[in-house]
Chain A
């Protein structure tokens, strides 16, 4: 690993100041993705600001909105009683991610900041527009079994690997960002980006900004929900396709629906058009099949990942069926 400077602080303002005035400085929280990338030589920050001692580890309910500090670990969030009761979909998504050891260290903010990536991004001998803009995409025409089928560009077809983020985008979370100028709040769905012509940018965080907390409004989607992750082995593997599904059902009619996918796009893939389609429909297999068909509009395979064009709709149908069966 290339050497770097290391600065520890327990004051948010100090941390923000340190990164805003130094273009080669970056924050480190759990480090489970960043340290890995630094070891591989994919990234080489010259200064790390250790933010693990910042006071951002609270989980609290305020005016029907759950506030989650950015430094809460993935495992602490998954085991939190409020999350289990109010947002069990998020709990399932969290538990589907990584391993017990990684979840103990990985933070909420860090999970969001993990790189959208693929094998070509990690292999510094291969071209990758994300790692080195303009060098080309090894995955298009290469090994692309794990890659995206939605929202792809000719520059990058990598997928965002998070499960937590798929749950959060389905739950209408908001992200609070702080900088030396103050705070701003954006919708979770607008945090991550599609690759477009700038695949080097995974999200809309500006230089000098730090994720300080998430806010999730309480909803009635904690009865009929499911997170279904399909992967090459039963545990500790990235999703081929994952689906977060939540329904409100009254007299077998769907009154509210949330649907999002992982493993299929450069960002957590929310399916709002399909949600609108589901509202007012009977909660039947026929409805779920139509919804799955609608969800696949615009999907495109790249050869090795063509199987996802069939796996994705099947996973949606199964997730909706299991969500309905839950109550």
Chain B
């Protein structure tokens, strides 16, 4: 964790967010849980708070985890596995910043509950490069200046790789159509399209 994130008590910003979200969790429990707690029906209480066992692979590394049912794949990646390359934009499936590959298929990780990904293999932006060697799509985004602020870029690149692999990058028009689930508020679209087009025309298997 970067030093800049430490506050006076030694807590990081992320620790604080975690603690405060626990209080939020308690204020957002279903009525039956509160009722059960009220009646001291501990079993029911425990059952409703039970975490779900979850086995999955992220960037070729196997994980055995326990997650609350309401944790999304996006939050699991960022908050529990600390893979913060995948971004939270709208958190409602409208912007594509959270795009990752699940079993090779691009999805919005914000709309997928982590628990629904049992046995799946996830690839995030961190899993794209081979060591220090950038993935061709990453290199093409740099070459064509396919970003300004960079916040949408991990999602754009994950989506772009899938777009080429799916065979939906045969023309600039087709690229625009099949990349429409990734919004760039800086408006780097022409350069993003150029980058994807070049990777596709390069003919390399990516």
Binding site for B on A (CB under 8 A): 1-6, 8, 24, 28, 31-32, 35-36, 38-40, 44, 46, 48, 50, 52, 98-102, 104-105, 234-236
Contact B30 A101 (CB under 8 A): no
Which residues of chain B are within 8 angstroms of A236 by Cβ–Cβ distance? 180-181
Instruction: Tell me, in angstroms, the Cα distance from A32 to B116 when the chains sit together.
Output: 12
Question: CB within 8 A of B181: which of A1, A48, A102?
Answer: A102
Contact residue range for chain B? 35 or more
CB distance from B103 to the nearest CB of A (A): 10
Q: Could you give, for residues 66-94 of chain B, a 1 whenever the CB lies within 8 Å of some chain A CB and a 0 otherwise?
A: 00111010000000000000000001110
Which residues of chain A are within 8 angstroms of B69 by Cβ–Cβ distance? 3-6, 48
Instruction: Tell me, in angstroms, the Cα distance from A39 to B52 when the chains sit together.
Output: 19
A101 and B96 contact, Cβ closer than 8 Å, known pairs A1-B28, A2-B30, A3-B25:
yes
CB distance from A148 to the nearest CB of B (A): 23
> With an 8 A cutoff between CB atoms, is B138 at the interface?
no
Instruction: Tell me, in angstroms, the Cα distance from A305 to B46 when the chains sit together.
Output: 50
Question: CB within 8 A of B28: which of A3, A98, A99, A100?
Answer: A3
Q: Could you give, for residues 137-166 of chain B, a 1 whenever the CB lies within 8 Å of some chain A CB and a 0 otherwise?
A: 000000000000000000000010011001
Which residues of chain B are within 8 angstroms of A100 by Cβ–Cβ distance? 106, 159, 162-163, 166, 168, 178-181
Contact A36 B177 (CB under 8 A): no
Shortest Cβ-Cβ A-B pairs, 9 listed: A99-B181, A6-B69, A235-B180, A236-B180, A1-B70, A101-B181, A101-B108, A104-B105, A35-B111
Which residues of chain B are within 8 angstroms of A28 by Cβ–Cβ distance? 113, 116
Binding site for A on B (CB under 8 A): 25, 28-30, 32-33, 47-50, 52, 68-70, 72, 91-93, 96, 99, 105-108, 111-113, 115-116, 118, 159, 162-163, 166, 168, 176-182
Question: CB within 8 A of A39: which of B29, B33, B91?
Answer: B91
CB nearest neighbor in B for A4: B69
Which residues of chain B are within 8 angstroms of A102 by Cβ–Cβ distance? 93, 108, 111, 181
Contact A32 B48 (CB under 8 A): no
Which residues of chain B are within 8 angstroms of A5 by Cβ–Cβ distance? 47-48, 50, 69
Contact B111 A105 (CB under 8 A): yes
Give 13 pairs: A residue, B residue, CB < 8 Å, sorted on A: A4-B69, A4-B70, A31-B116, A32-B93, A35-B113, A36-B92, A100-B166, A100-B168, A101-B96, A101-B108, A101-B159, A105-B112, A234-B180
Which residues of chain A are within 8 angstroms of B108 by Cβ–Cβ distance? 32, 101-102, 105
CB nearest neighbor in A for B117: A52
Contact A35 B180 (CB under 8 A): no
Which residues of chain B are within 8 angstroms of A2 by Cβ–Cβ distance? 28-30, 70
Which residues of chain B are within 8 angstroms of A99 by Cβ–Cβ distance? 96, 180-182
Which residues of chain B are within 8 angstroms of A48 by Cβ–Cβ distance? 69, 113
A105 and B107 contact, Cβ closer than 8 Å, known pairs A2-B28, A5-B69, A236-B180:
yes
Which residues of chain B are within 8 angstroms of A8 by Cβ–Cβ distance? 52, 115, 118
Question: CB within 8 A of A3: which of B70, B91, B159?
Answer: B70
A104 and B107 contact, Cβ closer than 8 Å, known pairs A46-B30, A236-B180:
yes
